[in-house]
Amino acid sequence: MSMERLSQQVEAYTAWKRELMREITRYRSWLASSRLSSDAIEARLDAALRLLRTDHITLAFVGEFSRGKTELINSLFFSSYGQRMLPSQAGRTTMCPTELFFDPRSERPYIRLLPIETRLADASVAQFKRIPRHWVNIPLDLSDPSNMIQAFAQVAKTKPMPVEQAIQFGFHPDMLEDAGKPGLVLVPAWRHALINFDHPLLRQGLRILDTPGLNALGSEPELTLSMLPNAQAILFLLAADTGVTASDMDIWRNHIRQLDEDTQTSLFAVLNKIDVLWDDLAGESFVQNAIAQVQSATAKQLGINPADVLPLSAKQALLAKVRNDDALLLRSQMPALESLLCERIVAQKERLLESRVVNQVLALVQNSQHVLNLRLEKVTEQQGQLSNHQQDNGQLLFELTAKTKHDHSEHHKRLLNLRTNQRLLQRQGDLLCAAVRGERLDLHLDKLRGNLEGSWTTFGIHQAILHFFHSVEGDLHDLEQEAEMGNKMVAAIYRRHNEENPLHGIDAPLFNLRPYLRELQGLREKGDQFRLHLKTLLTEQRVLTRRFFATLVQEVVGLHQRLRQEAAQWAHDALMPLMQHTLEHKQLLESHMLRLKALAQDTQQARQRGEQLQRYASDLQAQLQQASEILRTLRRPAPIQRQGKVVTLPVASRQQGALE
């Protein structure tokens, strides 16, 4: 089996997203035709569509050099070319972090390389991505494999540099190769590589992150602070002939293991190069037993489930695919990894999308459906009354109109009351935003810069960063107190609404600060970890230290911005379901008053009046049928769930908490 199965699964996932986008767009048109649309609902639907358009699946390949990361990528994605596309041979090949993706906005494939000299700047890779002039651009010719190989070889390019300069760039000299001349070492020529490549899987939204070894993870803070945590899965490469070495364990403990607890990332260990254990003389049973022993020992050392350690041979799998040798492919055990990618990682992504998009849109559709059902009930009630009182339609219409006016007045009062509550909640939202306003963070940042510039000793850096995090945490705890008051206010408003509308109970949307507190705690721990594991904080390490804390601070700034936006959005949207419900009822009653007025002015017989109501009822039933179709489509299980192949994920128990 090749990657056809994963390709089919990712294609099904992408088709499912397109289906969701079509139904959301259809629902938006339906809302307009049913006179149920509002600015708040439009904003929610825009956000859902934007998330679906920008969604992708990222796989990160991590491990020490010579563990076969690039060979595995070649085997998984480039075997159709009949040769290795990415440079993969003994020794160090991938010298800089490399992202492979498909960019639909670009007219032609390319490789973009960020010079290593940009490490002297405090700017992160993400910031440099917005400045194209700093990158070296190399076009790719997909019709010429030799041209592609030459272009891809640039990723492995090195350059000689004095040891002192290499240290300034953040490299540790013990981890660099000698350049053949005294005082010179070889460093990567590039800091980061972006490869836009038209591959079926990449076109469907899959992204690949290939990382160098320990030195890159330690000297490029953005990898561990941002890129790896945003991946859906990390494949940690090990060699079957060496097992878990000391440097492997350093990477695992310092950069990978905590991601399993703090993020949505799934962690898997790939025990590569099992072909070194193959022994035809000893027999297949002996070989499989040896592989199982290494697999069990690896799982124990890393502290993960043995099922999450996948033994395979990327080299033999690539050879098998090129030669169409099914027996060799099966022996390489590559199908187990491909099955995992299909059944666990894509399934996890489907669950997250259901939580973040599908369930929210379903709630909106169900609410709209409920309002139309109320309209239909009113019409049916009036039809019954008209048919039972044909002799006194005038009096009946008068009574119906009076009752409708009274109901309209009550809903108008509720709407005014809700608008008053909305203004009160908006003031509470202003207090929320004030607790984390940008100016407060700027003051913390100014103090941090001053403290760091004033002392670059270990103790000085420790105190500066501790004080910074204490200050930010203090702001978040102030915000927590304001949020608690806002939540009490919203809960009381919803409780009153649910008492008045027992058939249409709505859960109060409370502001949840816990994910942000957990994220801030994780960033603080990473800062402590960096400080404790940095071998020296002498003058030569100042550039690396500055860059690390600049990257760390940017992550805190991003967290702060997201928190402010969510606080403001929550205050604006918290009462939206109640406002929508009450406004729709008010509009419903206004519509009925107009129809009753038309019926009262109509001089035709009661039978003709009943026909008008029947046409209106038919229109409502058609609209409800459309709503049911939208609901039915949205409720369809995600592709893997339809196949009945969902595997329990090791991170499933913490997904709900992460989404709160």
- Per residue in 418-463, pLDDT tens? 778 778 777 877 888 887 888 888 888 888 878 777 765 667 777 7
Residue 407: its H or E element: helix 393-435
Higher pLDDT, 648 or 417: 417
Are the C-beta atoms of 100 and 203 separated by less than 8 Å? no
pLDDT number for residue 422: 77
Measuring CA to CA, how many Å separate 393 from each of 60, 340, 386, 403, 590? 73, 70, 7, 15, 20
Determine the Cα–Cα distance for residues 380 and 386; give it in Å rounded to an integer: 10
Hey, which of 305-314, 339-348, 597-606 has the most confident mean pLDDT?
305-314
Of residues 393 and 52, more confidence is placed in 52
Distance between CA atoms of residues 652 and 345, nearest Å: 11
Q: What is the pLDDT of residue 648?
A: 41
The band of 539, judged by pLDDT with boundaries at 50, 70 and 90, is: very low
pLDDT tier, 656 (very low <50, low <70, confident <90, very high otherwise): very low
Angstrom CA distances, 638 to 15, 319, 351, 401, stand at 10, 34, 8, 48
Look at residue 524 in the predicted model and tell me its pLDDT: 83
Q: Which tops the pLDDT comparison, 461 or 118?
A: 118
| Side-chain-side CA neighbours of residue 439 (13 Å) | 3
Which carries the bigger pLDDT value, residue 320 or residue 226? Answer: 320
Q: Is the pLDDT of residue 520 over 90?
A: no
- 299 has pLDDT over 90: yes
- Identify the H or E element spanning 448: helix 438-454
Q: With b meaning 16 or more CB within 10 Å and e meaning fewer, what string describes 415-446?
A: beebeebbeebeebbebbbbbbeeebbeebbe
Q: Indicate the pLDDT class of residue 352, thresholds 50, 70 and 90.
A: confident
Interhelix angle 314-323/69-77, nearest 10 degrees: 30
The pTM of this model reads: 0.70
Give the strand order in the sheet containing 57-62.
136-139, 110-115, 190-196, 98-101, 206-210, 57-62, 233-239, 266-272, 309-311
Report the alpha-carbon distance of residue 464 to residue 455 in Å, rounded.
Answer: 9
Q: Are 363 and 504 in contact (CB under 8 A)?
A: no
**Helix, strand, or coil (residue 148):** helix
- Contact by Cβ (8 Å): 108, 147: no
**What is the spatial distance between Cα 326 and Cα 2, in angstroms, rounded to a whole number?**
9
Whole-number pLDDT of residue 91: 47
pLDDT tens string 265-282: 788 999 999 998 898 888
- What mean pLDDT comes out for the span 595-604? 57
